Amino acid sequence: MMANRWSGVTIDCVDPIRMSAFWAALLDIPASSEHGDDPNWATVGSRSGPFPRLTFQRVPEPKAGKVRIHLDVEVDEIGAGRRQIEELGGRFTGVRHDDDEGVVLNMLDPEGHEFCLVQYFDRPAAEH
């Protein structure tokens, strides 16, 4: 049986450098130099890193409509996480969900891509 591994997510955007700077700062993962000086690509993390990498690909058109896949970013404290995102150039959509598992804020990155900021009330035990 062939082993399949998740290696990353590629996000279409107008400004790959700005987007990689935002996500690198938010996730505290260094930007990569995998693409050299090519302004059409930028990456956060690397294929050999501990997390799947985020790659940003320049496209000519701005984002239109809601995306059908998004990232969830877990934080220890939802208010502090929201402030950090806003300081980095992201925005809160005004949509908040509270349930037994925790709190979710719908956020936007600098180019308007949706993602969720999540504070869980209880963390599950580590899986082995």
Q: What is the distance, to the nearest Å, from the Cα of residue 10 to the centroid of all Cα atoms in its chain?
A: 11
pLDDT digit string, tens, across residues 43-87: 999 888 888 899 999 999 888 888 878 999 999 999 999 999 999
Cross-strand bridge partners of residue 91: 108
Per-domain residue ranges for the chain?
Answer: 8-60, 70-127
Write the class of the CATH domain 70-127.
Answer: alpha beta
Write the class of the CATH domain 8-60.
Answer: alpha beta
Q: What global pTM score does this model have?
A: 0.82
Residue 117 pLDDT class (50, 70, 90 cuts): very high
Is 128's pLDDT higher than 50? no
The one-letter amino acid at 30 = P
